[in-house]
């Protein structure tokens, strides 16, 4: 898995509802999902997998510096004051 692959997947993830709807992470490639949550067993179920991956991504965003974190929270629909159904509306 390349950095470019991860970048493309995350750019696609931030479209639409993004992390405001955690089940959207199930649209990430199986390869990336396995990388983000390697401890998950296949029998864990889709809902559990979605929650675990969303938690991981939220923590990763939370660990960014202030400036990057604010932009990422808006882009991934985690900022309540910028919670809109499209990326364009959130960034407006």
Tally of domains in the chain? 1
User: What is the distance between the terminal CA atoms of the chain, rounded to a whole angstrom?
Assistant: 33
What b/e readout covers 25-57, taking b as 16+ CB neighbours within 10 angstroms? beebeeebbeebbeeeeeeeeeeebbbbbbeeb
Can you give the pTM of this predicted structure? Answer: 0.81
Tokens standing for residue 71: 């932009």
pLDDT tens track, the chain, 92 positions: 899 999 999 999 988 888 988 899 999 999 999 888 888 776 668 888 899 999 999 999 999 999 999 999 988 989 888 777 777 787 76
Evaluate whether 31 touches 1 at the Cβ level (below 8 Å): yes
Between CA 38 and CA 46, with CA 42 as vertex, the angle to 5 degrees is 95
What residues make up the domain containing 85? 3-91
């Amino acid at each position: 898995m390349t950095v470019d692959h991860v970048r493309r997947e995350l750019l696609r993830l931030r479209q639409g509802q993004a992390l405001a709807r955690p089940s959207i992470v199930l649209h990430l490639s199986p390869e990336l999902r396995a990388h983000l949550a390697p401890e998950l067993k296949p029998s864990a179920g889709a809902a559990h997998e979605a929650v675990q991956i969303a938690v991981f991504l939220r923590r990763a965003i939370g660990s960014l510096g202030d400036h990057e974190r604010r932009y990422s929270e808006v882009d991934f629909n985690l900022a309540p004051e910028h919670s809109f159904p499209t990326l364009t509306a959130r960034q407006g």
